[in-house]
Structure 1
Amino acid sequence: MSKVKCNHCHLEFSKDVMIIEENLNFCCKGCQGVYHLLKDDGLDSFYDKLGNKTIAPPIKLDNDDISKFDSLNFLDNYVSSTKEGFSQIDLIIEGIHCAACVWLNEKILHDTKGIVEANINFTTNKARIVWDNEKLKLSEIILKIRSIGYNAYAYDSSIADLQASKAKRDYSIRMMVAVIASMNIMMLSVAKYTGFFTGISAEVKHMIHIGEFLLSTPVLFYSGWIFYKGAYYGLKNRMLNMDFLVSFGATLTYIYSLFILFGAKGESYFDSVAMIITFVLVGKYLEVIGKKSAVDTLDKIKSSLPLEAVVITKEGKKTLALNSISLGDIVEIKAGEKVPVDGKILIGEGSFDESTLTGESIPVYKKRDDLVYSGTINMDSLIQFEVTKSFKNSTFSSIVALLEDSLNSKPKIQTKAAQISKGFSITILSLSLLTFLVWYFMGIDLGFDYAGTNHFEKSFIVAISVIVIACPCALALATPMASLIGISELAKRGLLFKEAKFIETLAVANTVVFDKTGTLTKGELNVVKANILDDNIHKINLLYSLLDASTHPVSISIKKYLVSKYDLESKNLLSVKNIEAKGMSAIYENFEGKSFELLGGNIELLKQNDINYAFDSNKTVYLFAINKKVIASFELEDEIKDNAKELISFLQNKNIDIIMLTGDNEQVASRIAKQLNISKYFSTQTPVSKAEYIKQLKKENKTVVMVGDGVNDSVALGNADVAVAMGNSAGVSLAVSDIVLLNSTLSSLQEAFVISSKTYKFIKQNLGLSIIYNAVTIPLAMAGYVIPLVAALSMSLSSLMVVLNSLRIKMK
């Protein structure tokens, strides 16, 4: 039965099932529909890009399930929002076989109204799509992809682990085949090379060549398939990579050896083919192990969370998957169980092990209305809590998501290295060709003595050695290997870097700006002196009510002091206002309708309201006035955090400028600065003035790190090159931060600087080593001092050198 080719998928099929249309042949209605869709949309140039390659026919899918993509549960689990307010999702597109498929999908998505961005990774088939949810539904995007014969489903991070494990297993098997075959080839090679000196018959030599051929063939085409595949994808994207150099060099050597096997004069180099693949494969395997190690770090963190939770409903207790838990649900956890999602305790009290989040081994006592965080362990009692954050937005899930992003991000120095390596392969191929031409036509006879070889063979082997010994692999591995290990080490110590690029920025920073309260100090102010000028309980109740309306550490401390001294009652206040960096104001009306103006804050607040009150103190001061008459004054002190002095001294020894910005008065700022040996500080700062100061530092070409913990720091954090927030910071501060110190200790910030500097140092060392290696070995190979076997070993060792050097980051 004769066969014809489909005009869409190019697959052959029987004539008896074909659909004929104006000299067009289609194997099915799906191919016919996609063909006309592309024609109508002006995308028929897809077939020019496809060339003679075949693709799978359109996938037959039931679109009845399309509504699930718009369900709230699906959107909550897989869709996030960008800073601009657009929706974003990562999809796996099924059916992509080549660059033409990628082009077609990106083109059709870009031309869809409402889609802002669509990028597809040709090696992983992972697509990141950003769209305007008001103009387009996710289900419509999926239908658009399906309409051209592909399918899409949500990317799950667990797939990364499966892929990493599969890659490691695949590499292990291929490497085992290569090693076993290469060991046997070397045994035969010993006999062959011994024969050079002791004499060997042509028949025996030919049998050895056959044995080497049989052993090297599976090494090249099975174990070396990884390099052919990598070279193929590189060429499809118009890029000559390291895989191309390895596969090209090994294939040329193999073909030349085949000529020798079938009667041509000279020596075969099947042993070199096997060893080239084996040595470089070992280097590749080490790279895979490094990536698997990074994924294992994620798995270790993920294992801190259960898969389901007990939810209390009107009908009784139910066990639900974490994705099915909603805000407001009541979750019950027993002693020894892990908290599945963030919540607020309703019933019970006890200690919680938060070491998975903060690294601190000391349990934290929690009671009614206290917050509990996902991933922590309930130590000793039955607890019921109300869910305040969904599983996707809980503390634990946010940490995992940020860590995944950081492992996938690239430092600036890696981008530069990638740019250098792009032209590397073309340069090496050019040098190899030049070497062959010079050796062959000029009759150069230098360097290594290739015993028994003819002139062409000698020139050929030298040229192959140039290709094999060059190592863009070491250059390409230099940054990502060190970054992966650095990010993993930081995560183990409770240091969450949202992107790997902040390792480089932190390492080269020359200015660190600190907030004071809650950052350099504990933020737990204690009243050391109280002066109640009018102890009328009604007026003290008004003071208490004003303090109760604020979450500022000063207000909390004074309120705590008053509660210990008086039996207080909260009053209903009107027009409560927060006055930046000064205090608060409010109005109180009694039952007679008489109004009282309340002011509480620092001396600047009183001056702003034309209240002349002389008060001098080098401590934090809080003054309370009713109708412009001061009723009470308080002096408070805040203790300096543990390790604050050590951190400041450490940074100063690194020649980093230290600056403290605080909203407190001059006396308090001066006292803290003096205790910490900080020479440059600014008091009475507002959130806006902090941000403006950081902008000015950046204009002076300073690389600025800002460390803060409060809402009032969020604007300044957003303007810094690197924003560092404490783990117990306000939600806004965490949102704009680049680095989160999960245990909120300054010693961990010092560790962040140490590990970042060490990682950046090893990145530069790796780049330096790889450049020196290529600069030394390539000229040696061109001069004829290196045979392909030694070249392959040398190339593999250069990659191994980079990997081992990166592993030194783990050493203290």
Structure 2
Amino acid sequence: MPQVKCNHCHLSFDDEVMIKEKELNFCCKGCQGVYHLLKSDGLDSFYDKLGNKTITPPLNLEDDDISKFDTPSFMKNYTSLNKDGFYEVDLIIEGIHCAACVWLNEKILHDTKGLIEANINFTTNKAKVIWDGDELKLSDIILRIRSIGYNAYAYDSSVADEKATKAKREYFIKMMVAVIASMNIMMLSVAKYTGFFTGITPEVMNMIHIGEFLLSTPVLFYSGWVFFKGAYFGLKNKMLNMDFLVSSGALLTYIYSLFILFGAKGESYFDSVAMIITFVLVGKYLEVIGKKSAVDTLDKIKSSLPLEAVVIKGENKKQVALNSINIGDIIEIKTGEKVPVDGVIIKGEGAFDEASLTGESLPIFKKIGDSVYSGTINTNNLIHFEVTKDFKNSTFSSIVTLLEDSLNSKPKIQDKANEVSRGFTVSILTLSLITFLVWYFFGLDLGFDYEGTSHFEKSFIVAISVIVIACPCALALATPIASLIGISELAKKGLLFKEAKFIESLAKVNSVVFDKTGTLTKGELTVVKALILNEDIEKLNLLYSLLDTSTHPISKSVKKYLLSKYDLKLEKLSNIRNIDAKGMSAQFTNSEGKALSLIGGNLDLILEEKIKYDLKVENSVFIFAIEDEVIASFELVDEVKDYAKDLIQYLQNKNIEVIMLTGDNEQVASKVSSQLNIKKHLSKQTPISKAAYIKSLRTSGKIVVMVGDGVNDSVALSNADVAIAMGTSADISMAVSDIVLLNSSLTSLKDAFEISSRTYNFIKQNLAISLVYNLVTIPFAMLGYVIPLVAALSMSLSSLLVVLNSLRIKIK
């Protein structure tokens, strides 16, 4: 029965089921629909990119399963809201076979109204999709993907573990087959090369060649299949990669040795075939172990949390899965149990071990009203707490997400290395061909003693050695292996890098800007002088109520002081307004119906409101007034953090400019700057002026790091090249930050600079090792001083050298 090709999927089919349309042929209505969809959307250039490759016809899936993508449970488990209010999801797209498929899916999604961003990784088929929930549903996105012949489902992180485990197991089996076979081949080859078989008959030598052939064949086609597969997909996408070099070098040597085996004159090189595959496979296995180790680290962290928690509803207690815990639920935690989600204690008090989050070795005492964080351990007493964050958004889960993202990201320098690697293979193949032609046509006889070999064999072996000795894998490993180790070391120090690229940014920084309160100082202000001008308890209640509207350290400290002296209650305030870097205001309607104006803040705010008050202080101050009458004033002192001076000195010794920005008055700013030997500071800074200053530094060509912790720092943090937030920071500050210091220790911040600088230096060393290796060894191979066996060993050693050099990051 005649077969014709579909104009969309390029698959052959019987003409009796054909859908004919002018000069077009379609195997089904799905292909016909997709073809016209692409035409109408101006995406018909897809067929030029597709070439002669075939694709899967459109899926004929029932749409009754599509609604699950919009259910609350699915959205809760697999999607998240970003800082811009858009939904994000990671999808695995089935049916992607080539770069054209990636291009088509990205184009069709980008042309979908309400879709903000769609990026597809060709290697993993993983797509990151961001969309506006007000204009588009997730089910619409899935249907859009299905409409062009592909399918999509939510990415599950457990899949990454399964794949990593499977890859490790497969590589190990392939490697062991290669090692065992190669050891047996080398027993014959060493004896042959050292002359033990000199004078043996051709028949016996032929039997040795047959033995080598039988041992090398499974090594090449079973153990080495991974390289053939990689080369195939590379060629399919018009790319020449490292796998092509390895597979082509081994295959050409194998074919040549077959000619020798079947009667041609010369020496067989089955031993080189086996060793090429074995040495490179060992290098690959080391890389797989590194990746699996990263996944295992995450699994170990994840597994430390319980799977369920005890939820109290009325008089009943029920075991509930973590994903099913909702904000507002009451959780019971017994002694020795881990906190599953974030919350606030409503019953009981006790000590909590927070070492897993902050590195703090001593338990932290918590009482009613204090926050508890997921991943910490209740060391004594029964505690009840109210859930403030669901599992997905809790501290521990957020840390795991950050680690996953940072391990999957890459520094900018890796992009440069990848660009070099892309042209590397073509260059090596060209050099190999030139080497063969020069040796063959000019009759060179240099380097290694090729006695007894033909002129063609000499030229061929030297050319193969050039292919085998070249090592793009060392170049490819240089950045990711060092980044992986660097990120792991940083995590051990309580430092979470949201992306690996910030290692490079931190290593290049030349200007560090610090917030003062809570960053360089402890943020635990103590009232050292209180002047209560009017002790009317009703007026003090208003002061207490105004303070309760703010989370600023000054407000919390004054509130704590008042509660230690008076029995106060909260009043209902209206028109509450925060005044940047100065204080706050509100109104209170008294029993007579009169609206009273309340003002609380620093001296500048009081003077701006034209309230007369004469006060000279060198410390932070909080003044409270009702209707232009000052009721009370408080002087507060905030001690500088331990090691703050050492950190500043360390940065200045590295020729990094240190600047302090604070909303506090000049007297306080000068005092702290003097204590820490900071040469430049700006006082009375608002969030907007902080951000503007950061922008001005960047405009002048500076690479700027901003370190802060409060809500008022969030705008400045978002404008820096690298934003660092303390672990005690407000949620919004941590959201816009690039690096989080879980323990808020300035020694950890120093570690961040040291480890980042060391990691970046080792990345550059690795790249240098790779480039120098290739520049030195390739000319030697072209001159004939290296046989394929030695070339394979040399190439693997270069990769091993890069890995071992990267491990030095751990050594101070």
Indicate whether the TM-score tops 0.5. Answer: yes
Query: Match of 1:484, SS?
Result: helix
Give deviations 1:159-195, integer Å, cap 9, x for gaps.
1111111111111000001101111111121343244
Normalising by structure 2, report the TM-score: 0.94
Q: What amino acid sits opposite 2:393 in the alignment?
A: N
Between the aligned partners of 1:637 and 1:131, the Cα distance in structure 2 is 48
39-48 vs 130-139, which deviates more? 39-48
Which position in structure 1 is the counterpart of 2:719?
Answer: 719
Identify if the C-alpha distance between structure 1 residues 629 and 78 changes in structure 2 by more than 3 Å, giving closer, same or farther: same
Identify if the C-alpha distance between structure 1 residues 543 and 310 changes in structure 2 by more than 3 Å, giving closer, same or farther: closer
The alignment status of 1:460 with 2:460, answered yes or no, reads yes
Q: What amino acid sits opposite 2:579 in the alignment?
A: I
Normalising by structure 1, report the TM-score: 0.94
Shift of 1:82: 4.3
Shift of 1:12: 7.6
Which position in structure 2 is the counterpart of 1:748?
Answer: 748
Alignment of 1:375-774 (within 5 A): 375-774=375-774
Which position in structure 2 is the counterpart of 1:35?
Answer: 31
Shift of 1:622: 2.1
Query: Match of 1:365, SS?
Result: strand
Between the aligned partners of 1:85 and 1:578, the Cα distance in structure 2 is 24
Shift of 1:284: 0.9
Between the aligned partners of 1:643 and 1:145, the Cα distance in structure 2 is 55
Shift of 1:781: 0.8
Shift of 1:120: 2.7
Tell whether the 8 Å contact from 1:493 to 1:748 is kept in structure 2 after alignment. yes
Shift of 1:620: 1.2
Shift of 1:224: 0.7
Alignment of 1:79-228 (within 5 A): 79-195=79-195, 198-228=198-228
Identify if the C-alpha distance between structure 1 residues 445 and 619 changes in structure 2 by more than 3 Å, giving closer, same or farther: same
Between the aligned partners of 2:700 and 2:761, the Cα distance in structure 1 is 25
Query: Match of 1:496, SS?
Result: strand
Between the aligned partners of 2:9 and 2:698, the Cα distance in structure 1 is 56
Identify if the C-alpha distance between structure 1 residues 423 and 61 changes in structure 2 by more than 3 Å, giving closer, same or farther: same
Query: Match of 2:391, SS?
Result: coil
Identify if the C-alpha distance between structure 1 residues 561 and 315 changes in structure 2 by more than 3 Å, giving closer, same or farther: closer
535-544 vs 616-625, which deviates more? 535-544
Between the aligned partners of 1:219 and 1:108, the Cα distance in structure 2 is 44
589-598 vs 631-640, which deviates more? 589-598
Give deviations 1:268-311, integer Å, cap 9, x for gaps.
11111111111111111111111112112211221222222222
Identify if the C-alpha distance between structure 1 residues 152 and 671 changes in structure 2 by more than 3 Å, giving closer, same or farther: same
Between the aligned partners of 1:606 and 1:262, the Cα distance in structure 2 is 100
373-382 vs 750-759, which deviates more? 373-382
Between the aligned partners of 1:19 and 1:551, the Cα distance in structure 2 is 72
Shift of 1:766: 0.4
Between the aligned partners of 1:420 and 1:674, the Cα distance in structure 2 is 49
Which position in structure 2 is the counterpart of 1:277?
Answer: 277
Identify if the C-alpha distance between structure 1 residues 522 and 116 changes in structure 2 by more than 3 Å, giving closer, same or farther: closer
Which position in structure 2 is the counterpart of 1:248?
Answer: 248
Q: What amino acid sits opposite 1:279 in the alignment?
A: F
Shift of 1:4: 5.3
Identify if the C-alpha distance between structure 1 residues 580 and 209 changes in structure 2 by more than 3 Å, giving closer, same or farther: same
Tell whether the 8 Å contact from 2:34 to 2:147 is kept in structure 1 after alignment. no
Which position in structure 2 is the counterpart of 1:368?
Answer: 368
Query: Match of 1:423, SS?
Result: helix
Query: Match of 1:723, SS?
Result: strand
Identify if the C-alpha distance between structure 1 residues 366 and 66 changes in structure 2 by more than 3 Å, giving closer, same or farther: same
Shift of 1:58: 5.8
Between the aligned partners of 1:72 and 1:217, the Cα distance in structure 2 is 55
Between the aligned partners of 2:372 and 2:155, the Cα distance in structure 1 is 29
Shift of 1:231: 1.1
Give deviations 1:79-138, integer Å, cap 9, x for gaps.
223455433221112233444544444454344444343333232222222333333321
Shift of 1:243: 0.8
Shift of 1:767: 0.7
Between the aligned partners of 1:122 and 1:285, the Cα distance in structure 2 is 22
Query: Match of 2:636, SS?
Result: strand
Q: CA RMSD in A?
A: 2.6
Tell whether the 8 Å contact from 1:515 to 1:661 is kept in structure 2 after alignment. yes
Tell whether the 8 Å contact from 2:192 to 2:198 is kept in structure 1 after alignment. no
Tell whether the 8 Å contact from 2:602 to 2:623 is kept in structure 1 after alignment. yes
Identify if the C-alpha distance between structure 1 residues 278 and 379 changes in structure 2 by more than 3 Å, giving closer, same or farther: same
Q: What amino acid sits opposite 2:17 in the alignment?
A: I
Query: Match of 2:697, SS?
Result: helix
Give deviations 1:559-616, integer Å, cap 9, x for gaps.
2222222333444444333222222233444333455443322221122122343322
Gaps of 5+ in 1: none
Give deviations 1:409-456, integer Å, cap 9, x for gaps.
111111111111111111111111111111111112211111211111
Identify if the C-alpha distance between structure 1 residues 117 and 552 changes in structure 2 by more than 3 Å, giving closer, same or farther: closer
Alignment of 1:188-337 (within 5 A): 188-195=188-195, 198-313=198-313, 316-337=316-337
Shift of 1:478: 0.5
Shift of 1:408: 1.2
564-573 vs 437-446, which deviates more? 564-573
Which position in structure 1 is the counterpart of 2:72?
Answer: 72
Between the aligned partners of 1:36 and 1:315, the Cα distance in structure 2 is 62
365-374 vs 470-479, which deviates more? 365-374
Query: Match of 1:198, SS?
Result: coil
Tell whether the 8 Å contact from 1:192 to 1:208 is kept in structure 2 after alignment. no
Identify if the C-alpha distance between structure 1 residues 462 and 301 changes in structure 2 by more than 3 Å, giving closer, same or farther: same
Between the aligned partners of 1:61 and 1:324, the Cα distance in structure 2 is 30
Shift of 1:143: 2.6
Q: What amino acid sits opposite 1:503 in the alignment?
A: I
Shift of 1:49: 5.8
Identify if the C-alpha distance between structure 1 residues 181 and 711 changes in structure 2 by more than 3 Å, giving closer, same or farther: same
Identify if the C-alpha distance between structure 1 residues 557 and 9 changes in structure 2 by more than 3 Å, giving closer, same or farther: closer
Query: Match of 2:299, SS?
Result: helix
Tell whether the 8 Å contact from 1:294 to 1:485 is kept in structure 2 after alignment. no
528-537 vs 333-342, which deviates more? 528-537
Identify if the C-alpha distance between structure 1 residues 544 and 284 changes in structure 2 by more than 3 Å, giving closer, same or farther: same
Percent pairwise identity: 73
Which position in structure 2 is the counterpart of 1:796?
Answer: 796
Tell whether the 8 Å contact from 1:522 to 1:638 is kept in structure 2 after alignment. yes
Query: Match of 1:392, SS?
Result: helix
Instruction: Tell me the matched-pair count.
Output: 807
Shift of 1:344: 2.2
599-608 vs 247-256, which deviates more? 599-608
Which position in structure 1 is the counterpart of 2:17?
Answer: 19
Tell whether the 8 Å contact from 1:3 to 1:12 is kept in structure 2 after alignment. no
Q: What amino acid sits opposite 2:230 in the alignment?
A: G
Identify if the C-alpha distance between structure 1 residues 642 and 163 changes in structure 2 by more than 3 Å, giving closer, same or farther: same
Query: Match of 2:392, SS?
Result: coil
Shift of 1:394: 1.5
Query: Match of 1:284, SS?
Result: helix
Between the aligned partners of 2:762 and 2:583, the Cα distance in structure 1 is 49
Query: Match of 1:482, SS?
Result: helix
Identify if the C-alpha distance between structure 1 residues 732 and 117 changes in structure 2 by more than 3 Å, giving closer, same or farther: closer
390-399 vs 153-162, which deviates more? 390-399
Q: What amino acid sits opposite 2:416 in the alignment?
A: K
Between the aligned partners of 1:441 and 1:793, the Cα distance in structure 2 is 29
Shift of 1:73: 1.2
797-806 vs 377-386, which deviates more? 377-386
Query: Match of 1:528, SS?
Result: strand
Between the aligned partners of 1:163 and 1:651, the Cα distance in structure 2 is 43
